Amino acid sequence: MTQTSSLTDTKNQNLTLTTIISEHHAWRTLSGLQTNNYYVYRNAIHSGCHLQRTLFELRHPEVMICDLSNLEPAFNCMSDLQIVKTWHQINSAIDQSKLKDIRKILGDGLTPEIAISGPCKQKLFEFKTQLINKILPTSAKQKHPATTHPTIRGISKNRLLINTNDSTINFHNRFCAFYSAYISHEHWDNCLTLNTRYIYEDHPIWHKIKTLSKNKLFLLSAGLPLALGYLAATGDEKILFSEIHRQNDASLLTRDSEFLDIFPHSEITNEPWLIIDKSYTGGSLRQAANMIRKKLGYDADIKTLALFPKTFSAFMSADYAVYGGKLFEVRLYASRLNRETWHTQLIAENSI
């Protein structure tokens, strides 16, 4: 039994002082602490504390069925109208399905994506395969198998890093040598960032992005395969990395310390910046922009690029967006997009 005191550490709101009573040790009573912050926990263990009780909260695996913001190769040969029609058919089929352990993922304005979750990832993939085979036109599945054709309506992470050029591989190795200092050595082998196998494919969109700004800042950890795909396609080594932690970022459990800087630090200049990241709400892009302004001053030239935005606000809050395989300058489209239908409207829009 654990009784929680109301006394908290005012210097750390993630730490609560407690009185611990253990019935298994003759009702031994002593002080302790509670926290949901990994670094507080790790520092306490290093100071001689002992773990009293744990609670694991685990998310079920997720599988994307269809995402208008970054479509799979099977949609390449479809017209704009066919894509939107097929998306509605998939959405309707899932809503009408009598699913036992599988549920559709809901969210605040997540209009472009149709995704499912459940306790078994294999069953999720089987459900997706059956659904796609039933709804997608036969011509789409035969003409554009996902394993052999480049993605036109999206950008796929399907290129082996070892099959790229020496410049890309050397940059990756240099980054890993730096970043490994932040990861506990026992987690090096299973850290996704240090063991990148696939990067994003060579796509015309990278060459358009290259012209937007001098410095390109990618946010970890999703940003590493994106940046390496960009580098392999354009040869532009003016790429930098930083990290913005999310609420549910399980990778924090592998850390010795947080990476709160920019790599490579020596490359920080006052030349224009473009911050690039996948975007659900746009919060990470805004945080990164504020971080750079604190370093360079609030008159720094900073633009943001939302990759595959999942909400209307994520699209509208960025300067540029990549959606459905196209690059958009947001301000040119803002006035004519409808909050309820923007996700299908953009499929038919022309890019810059």
Same domain, 171 and 301: yes
Same domain, 169 and 301: yes
pTM score = 0.84
Do residues 189 and 265 both lie within one domain?
yes
Question: Per mean pLDDT, which range of 43-47, 63-67, 161-165, 305-309 is the poorest?
Answer: 43-47
Domain-embedded: residue 154:
no
Shared domain for 138 and 163, answered yes or no, is: no
At 166-192, the pLDDT tens digits run: 999 999 999 999 999 998 888 888 888
| pLDDT of amino acid 249 | 64
Q: Is the pLDDT of residue 4 over 50?
A: no
What total of structural domains would you count in the chain? 3
Q: What is the pLDDT of residues 56-115, one digit of tens each?
A: 888 899 999 999 999 999 898 899 999 999 999 999 999 888 878 899 998 888 899 999
What pLDDT is stored for residue 109 in this prediction? 84
Residue 349 within a domain:
no
193 and 288 assigned to the same domain: yes
CB neighbour class for 132 (10 Å; exposed up to 12, middle 13-18, buried from 19): middle
Q: Which domain holds residue 97?
A: 62-143
Query: Residue 176: inside a domain, yes or no?
Result: yes
90 and 33 share a domain?
A: no
Q: Is the same domain home to 125 and 211? A: no
Distance CA 29, CA 25 (A): 9
**Domain match, 88 and 18 both:** no
**CA–CA separation, 243 and 221 (whole Å):** 7
Q: What is the pLDDT of residue 1?
A: 43
Which of 96, 112, 143 represents a domain boundary (last residue)? 143
Residues 241-259: b if buried by 16+ CB within 10 A, e if exposed: bbbbeeeeeebeebbeeeb
